[in-house]
Amino acid sequence: MLDLVGQPLTWTTGLIFAAYGVVLLLIILGFVTYAIYFERKVIGWMQGRYGPNRVGPLGLLQTVADVFKLLIKEDTIPRKADRELFILAPVLTFIPAFVVVATIPFTANLIHADLDVGLLYYVALSGISTLGMILGGWASNNKYALLGGMRSAAQMISYEVPLVISVIGVIMMTGTLNLHKIVEAQGDNFWNWNFLPQIVGFIVFVIAGVSELNRTPFDLPEAESELVAGYHVEYSGFRFAFFMLAEYVYVFAIASLTTVLFLGGWHAPFAFLAFIPGIVWFLLKFSFIVFFFFWIRATLPRIRIDQLMGLGWKVLLPLALLNIFITALYMGLTG
């Protein structure tokens, strides 16, 4: 296991740590580049369209061209904007998206930092991105951007509550916040994976996760028909790219976390399939979750803001709390 936490910092461990971080960063950037491509192709297929098919073979270089275009576009900052906060906001949104991936165990031996409070670490740092969205909207000195930033804060804080509470049942069953140990507790048996005994928590987690990603049908912060693109309306070029990049990195993070918490991580569904490498099982489950996010976007329309808030506070939060009580009752009767 690649875990350098607690070890003395030497040139060797430092270089290994840095090299692994760079490799992980490149993998995530590669995922983001082609997740956008596959999302456009999948949604196009579902809606009877072609999707990208011009730039490169099968349109594979379309996203590369889009990213290059953003990088070379003029960087504009509104004259009356708060310049320092305007520059800081995309960075504050972008960096936590990468940092939270450090505790995700992809296999039994492939993990960057095996923290005993890995799940708490993820929740604490992912919440920082909300500040970046608020700052981006406020610092732009634009009323539409400010409304988008405030709606982002309201939505993400509201759905952060049921998202966190929905995983308490998993923590109660496994007795740990360590993501690696949570996966180990599920084992090579489909029936022991947490999404079955924690089906209510699993459903709440997935719905709240989609909302945390600001994706359809919960993409109210970026409702271009109402807010002229929301909190990032004044951003252009690479600063705008930071916001979009952060969104897709969180898709990577949420899909990975769902796989780890509820779908057995790197474990095979049955013991006789355990000869297949764990990374293959992880990627299959991960890919299914990502495809589900794309499918939802292609299928459902955007909901109204009152429906959004009502679903979070009146439906998901009571269900998440009920799941805790049912889990406690079950453990008390069987333990």
Domain ranges for the chain: 1-72, 77-334
Alpha helix ranges (H) inside the chain: 11-46, 62-72, 83-99, 118-126, 128-139, 143-166, 168-174, 179-186, 199-212, 224-227, 237-262, 278-299, 305-310, 317-334
Token pair 């990603």 is at which residue?
213
pLDDT at 5: 46
| Average pLDDT estimate for 301-326 | 93
Mean pLDDT over 39-66 rounds to 92
Are 238 and 156 in contact by the 8 Å Cβ rule? The answer is no
Query: Does residue 6 surpass a pLDDT of 60?
Result: no
Of 13-17, 26-30, 156-160, 280-284, give the lowest mean pLDDT range. Answer: 13-17
| Mean per-residue pLDDT, 321-335 | 90
- Does position 172 have pLDDT exceeding 50, yes or no? yes
* pLDDT recorded at residue 130: 87
pLDDT of 3: 45
Mean predicted confidence (pLDDT) in 307-333: 93
Mutual orientation of helices 128-139 and 237-262 as an angle, nearest 10°?
A: 160
CA 302 – CA 308 distance, rounded (Å): 9
**pLDDT above 90 for 112:** no
Q: How many CB atoms lie within 10 A of CB 275?
A: 7
Residue 65 has pLDDT above 80, yes or no: yes
Task: Assign 1 a pLDDT band (cuts: 50, 70, 90).
Answer: very low
Q: How would DSSP label each residue in 255-285?
A: HHHHHHHHS-TT--SSGGGTTS-HHHHHHHH
Q: Please name the residue that has the structure tokens 């989609």.
A: 210
pLDDT at 51 over 70: yes
Average pLDDT score over residue span 201-210 = 95
pLDDT of residue 224: 65
Count of C-beta atoms within a 10 Å radius of residue 4: 18
pLDDT at 204 over 70: yes
Q: Which single residue is written with the structure tokens 């509104």?
A: 78
In this prediction, residue 233 carries a pLDDT of 87
The Cα 121–Cα 102 span in angstroms is: 10
Summary mean pLDDT of the chain: 88
Would you say residue 168 has pLDDT above 90?
yes
Over residues 221-264, the pLDDT tens digits come to: 776 666 677 888 899 888 988 888 888 999 999 999 999 999 99
Among 30-34, 116-120, 163-167, name the most confident range. Answer: 163-167
pLDDT band at 9 (very low <50, low <70, confident <90, very high): low
Secondary structure letter of residue 235 according to DSSP: -
Q: Highest mean pLDDT range out of 29-33, 126-130, 290-294?
A: 290-294
- The candidate with the shortest Cα–Cα distance to 330, out of 209, 200, 208, is 200
